[in-house]
């Protein structure tokens, strides 16, 4: 199959509404914020922009509402050199929203799915040819799971690599597990999917083995400031996190996933791709915002070339 697109992201588009506070509010309490800002978001959206910032050829398929937020999100993707012709604008439903509270370098997020919930198989059939022509199909779970399973099956028969970021974590069936080439998730999502707690490295190794037994080919479990664990050539490896000052961790997972997909389309092996993705995430968390924090390829190369303790 002829491949003329590096990565197709089939996923979510949200507008992020973020407040910074000195502490978390108590139940029933009204708390003043230190700052408020609005920015494009949604895991799929953030991952697409992460890839495009690095220089990847990326297309997006998804849904927005016919409102100002939807217009802004599509325009922002286009400005970042992401192909937007496969994004549908829907009537009678609002664009997805995320309400984010940032507090001492940590965040809590409440998501409203909105138009993302309407990314049904029927609505997404128009991008079947796009899936077939992509080197990588990247998805998350902020759109209906049936659509994810359908798209993965198209990719599997088309020799398109399937990368899944199962967030938010919902139960996955055997058919989907068997279609996943690369599973990228954090330890909390892994715990939710497998029903076990991560207390030490051995637990992560066991989780990776369990995912592999279900048919997944490669697994990356991100551990925040503890780095990332992944399988490569029959062994489980750990890559320590880069030591940076955390300003806003909101987009860390999407930065890592986008960086990983970009690295894989550039022929990097799994070890090198893990390093590259970790660097993308490390740079992103030193800045405010999810998309505004995402680095360019030049910034990543400069970061990787800088000696570190």
Let me know the angle formed at the C-alpha of 56 by 52 and 58, rounded to the nearest 5 degrees. 70
d(CA 51, CA 259): 6
Sign of CA pseudo-dihedral 199, 202, 206, 211:
positive
* 250 belongs to an annotated ligand binding site: yes
Q: Which of 156, 186, 151 is nearest to 168 (CA)?
A: 186
Give the SS3 label for residue 204.
helix
* 142 belongs to an annotated ligand binding site: yes
* 16 belongs to an annotated ligand binding site: yes
* 284 belongs to an annotated ligand binding site: yes
d(CA 215, CA 153): 14
* 309 belongs to an annotated ligand binding site: no
* 135 belongs to an annotated ligand binding site: no
Tokens describing residue 302: 């400069």
* 45 belongs to an annotated ligand binding site: yes
* 43 belongs to an annotated ligand binding site: yes
Q: Please enumerate in sequence order all residues whose Cβ is within 8 A of that of 8, keeping only pairs 6 or more positions apart, or say none.
A: 58, 59, 60, 61, 127, 130, 131, 134, 136, 137, 138, 160
Tokens describing residue 168: 């938010």
* 138 belongs to an annotated ligand binding site: no
* 14 belongs to an annotated ligand binding site: yes
DSSP 258-293: HHHHHHHHTT--HHHHHHHHHHHHHHHTTSSSSSTT
* 222 belongs to an annotated ligand binding site: yes
* 42 belongs to an annotated ligand binding site: yes
* 224 belongs to an annotated ligand binding site: yes
Binding site listing: 14-16, 42-46, 142, 186, 222-227, 248, 250, 284, 287, 289
Binding site listing for ATP: 186, 222-227
Binding site listing for K(+): 248, 250, 284, 287, 289
Binding site listing for substrate: 14-16, 42-46, 142
């Amino acid at each position: 199959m002829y491949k003329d697109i590096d990565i197709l992201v089939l996923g979510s588009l949200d507008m992020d509404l973020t407040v910074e506070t000195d502490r978390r509010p108590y139940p029933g309490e009204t708390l003043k914020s230190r700052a408020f800002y609005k920015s494009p978001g949604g895991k799929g959206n953030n991952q697409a922009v992460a890839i495009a910032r690095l220089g990847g050829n990326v297309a997006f398929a998804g849904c927005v509402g016919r409102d100002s937020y939807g217009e802004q999100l599509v325009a922002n993707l286009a400005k970042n050199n992401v192909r937007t012709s496969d994004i549908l604008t829907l009537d009678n439903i609002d664009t997805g929203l995320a309400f984010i509270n940032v507090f001492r370098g940590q965040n809590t997020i409440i998501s409203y799915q909105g138009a993302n919930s309407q990314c049904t198989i029927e609505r997404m059939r128009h991008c079947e040819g796009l899936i077939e022509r992509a080197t990588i199909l990247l998805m998350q779970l902020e759109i209906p799971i049936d659509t994810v399973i359908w798209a993965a099956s198209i990719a599997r028969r088309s020799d398109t690599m399937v990368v899944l970021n199962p967030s938010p974590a919902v139960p996955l069936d055997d058919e989907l597990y068997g279609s996943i080439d690369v599973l990228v998730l954090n330890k909390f999502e892994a715990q939710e999917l497998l029903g076990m707690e991560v207390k030490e490295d051995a637990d992560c190794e066991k989780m990776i083995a369990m995912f592999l037994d279900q048919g997944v080919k490669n697994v990356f479990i991100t551990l925040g400031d503890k780095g990332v664990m992944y399988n490569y050539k029959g062994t489980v490896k750990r890559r320590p996190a880069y030591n940076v000052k955390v300003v806003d961790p909101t987009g860390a997972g999407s930065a890592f996933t986008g960086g990983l997909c970009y690295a894989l389309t550039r022929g990097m092996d799994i070890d090198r791709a893990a390093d590259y993705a970790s660097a993308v995430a490390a740079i992103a968390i030193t800045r405010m915002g999810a998309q505004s924090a995402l680095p360019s390829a030049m910034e990543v190369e400069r970061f990787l070339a800088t000696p570190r303790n």
